[in-house]
């Protein structure tokens, strides 16, 4: 599929995250102090949109049941039950555009 534009650098300021739809898949793109990362946007516990949750450093906390994921790797950080990690994607910044490699 290649590189898909997620937005402009100005769309994702440091400490913020957005949701973009790429080929029918919802992807969360976050800016951690100028380091962009991308994972699936759907929580693997309940399917809620993680971009509607909270970003603290590189930890995304689901707004529904507080599952915590590392937004750089997609790995589960904390939750009372074992749930699947998120898929993570490579992000490329070219000029002032942010791309997700699928």
Domains of the chain (ranges; CATH) run: 3-101 (2.102.10.10)
Does residue 52 contact residue 62 with C-beta atoms inside 8 Å?
no
Which pTM does this prediction carry? 0.94
Looking at residue 1, its pLDDT comes to: 65
pLDDT tens digits, one per residue of 40-92: 999 999 999 999 999 999 999 999 999 999 999 999 999 999 999 999 999 99
Predicted confidence at residue 23, as pLDDT, reads 86
pLDDT at site 15: 96
Residues with Cβ within 8 Å of residue 101, at least 6 apart in sequence: 2, 3, 4, 89, 90, 91, 92
What does the pLDDT average to over 4-24? 95
């Amino acid at each position: 599929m290649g590189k898909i534009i997620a937005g402009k650098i100005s769309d994702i300021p440091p400490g913020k995250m957005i949701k973009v739809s790429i080929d029918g898949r919802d992807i969360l793109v976050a800016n951690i102090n100028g380091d962009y990362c991308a994972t699936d946007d759907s929580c693997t516990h309940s399917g809620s949109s993680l971009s509607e949750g909270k970003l603290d450093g590189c930890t995304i906390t689901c707004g529904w049941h507080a599952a915590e994921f590392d937004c750089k790797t997609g790995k589960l950080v904390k939750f009372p039950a074992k749930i699947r990690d998120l898929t993570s994607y490579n992000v490329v910044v070219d000029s002032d555009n942010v791309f997700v490699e699928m």
